[in-house]
Structure 1
């Protein structure tokens, strides 16, 4: 199992916290992406770290331009030497900024956006590629700048994680990509993992990601919390310490990071 940390704080704070996380043995850091600033912060982190994976938790793709996300993420992947991960989802409805209150519309925009990302990151030239969807329509463009300059470092593409919810549509979507974020009991994680794996047609590795909070001062208790998820098939545990009453828990986050991951071995 790998261990990541969802970081919350100002840009300078998350850069410092990410460096501390790498030093403490964490495998990745992930940032919320509600206001389209995560890729800037993650790029700053990439310049100050060498090993840890860098991703979002999560990017509300229906609310963002797919080509913006494709270019920003690929740039991060180039600069980090292939450490980027994109976690994409509908986003939080309460934070809807574009009037898309219909989850069906958001889901359709998500699927079309993921299709575009998958094509571009597999080498489809933005300027020699047409696409006709319900919400996105692209025609060939004439330019002297090749899309190859925006290709990611990783091959065949940057790993894409999606929400592995209980709906059949979410199960099918997760089966098409590289990882499923499943929040729930170990039993729920196991059931959804089995359902997703039954639909997968790819032989590439598949990650199962869950999140929670473990104590910094009791390794045995931390391991006891994580172990059932590992036994159910989780491959990533993301330590998540979300805001409490609107106040960022920077001190608590730093304390938890420095204690190291809740390893079960």
Structure 2
């Protein structure tokens, strides 16, 4: 099982330069992946600094050489497929083929209906499915014609050609996020390269990992290609049991442990406490 970090794209004092420092520290400390959230606003009263994850990951790519980089997760329905294709291919090639694209349909009214985006979650799910199918075709480096319900790449005697293709083949890995024990996100994930489950009603357990692995197996995930199961968690480097915890999740079928490095572990953002130094300390402590 590999070990990654999940880091917010917001926080007082956070900028792309600090993200690059953290990514380099993560690589030096032995982490295998560095993943940024993708949000437009902070989850606290402002003013709070927010970075664009793709620009910040570009800085991280320039500061590192081996660690996997990506978003967990990008709500694709509020991003245009052609723009995402250009951003992801550019970043994948810049990083030497280290990009992972985590995706989801998104939640929270302040990033949807409050800013004029699609308010209906089911419709966003439909948009996500069409977006992913189109994105995979755009990554092919071949001409694409598409006239769908939500997106279009077509004109009279014209098809869109996004060149060059990503460095990774057959495509940049796509991991699909979803709240467990939902249905649609996990059915979607089985069609791609990995699943990123989460809970909103408590901490993640080994039983949850085993249940997700069984669900994905029943849906046929991994039958023809390797499939990643990236489970969430928080560990304390002073805890002698953490190696046992990792082993239990790996034994249940997890392929990634994604450590949550967020400010709520080290302060109270609602009161203006953004302890980025403590977050960096956990990164530097390693898995």
**Match among 17, 29, 49 for residue 22 of structure 2:** 17
Query: Does the 8 Å CA contact 1:32/1:56 hold for their aligned counterparts?
Result: yes
Task: Report what 1:116 is aligned to.
Answer: 134
Query: Does the 8 Å CA contact 1:29/1:53 hold for their aligned counterparts?
Result: yes
Q: Does 2:275 correspond to 1:249?
A: yes
Deviation at 1:199, TM superposition (A): 2.2
- Deviation track 1:159-178 (CA, whole Å, cap 9, x = no partner) reads 00002542332221011000
Aligned to 2:241, the other structure's residue is in SS state helix
Once superposed, what is the RMSD of the aligned Cα atoms?
2.2
- Deviation track 1:61-99 (CA, whole Å, cap 9, x = no partner) reads 011112111110110000111000000001232432334
Q: Does 2:286 correspond to 1:260?
A: yes
Query: CA 1:141 to 1:89, structure 2 compared with 1: closer, same or farther past 3 Å?
Result: farther
Q: Does 2:166 correspond to 1:152?
A: yes
Query: CA 1:95 to 1:209, structure 2 compared with 1: closer, same or farther past 3 Å?
Result: farther
Q: TM-score, normalised by structure 2?
A: 0.82
Deviation at 1:194, TM superposition (A): 1.6
Q: In structure 1, what is the Cα distance between the partners aligned to 2:212 and 2:228? A: 12
Q: In structure 2, what is the Cα distance between the partners aligned to 1:155 and 1:252? A: 38
Task: Report what 1:228 is aligned to.
Answer: 248
Q: In structure 1, what is the Cα distance between the partners aligned to 2:110 and 2:85? A: 22
Query: Does the 8 Å CA contact 1:161/1:178 hold for their aligned counterparts?
Result: yes
Deviation at 1:142, TM superposition (A): 7.8
Q: TM-score, normalised by structure 1?
A: 0.89
- Counterparts of 1:150-229 in structure 2 under 5 Å? 151-164=165-178, 165-183=180-198, 184-200=204-220, 202-218=223-239, 220-229=240-249
Structure 1, unpaired ranges of 5+: none
- Deviation track 1:228-264 (CA, whole Å, cap 9, x = no partner) reads 2212111111110223232433112111112111xxx
For this pair of structures, how many residues does the alignment match?
256
Structure 2, unpaired ranges of 5+: 9-13, 41-50, 199-203
Query: CA 1:142 to 1:257, structure 2 compared with 1: closer, same or farther past 3 Å?
Result: farther
Deviation at 1:141, TM superposition (A): 7.5
Identify the structure with the greater helix proportion: 1
Query: Does the 8 Å CA contact 2:263/2:276 hold for their aligned counterparts?
Result: no
Q: In structure 1, what is the Cα distance between the partners aligned to 2:116 and 2:250? A: 38
Query: CA 1:249 to 1:98, structure 2 compared with 1: closer, same or farther past 3 Å?
Result: farther
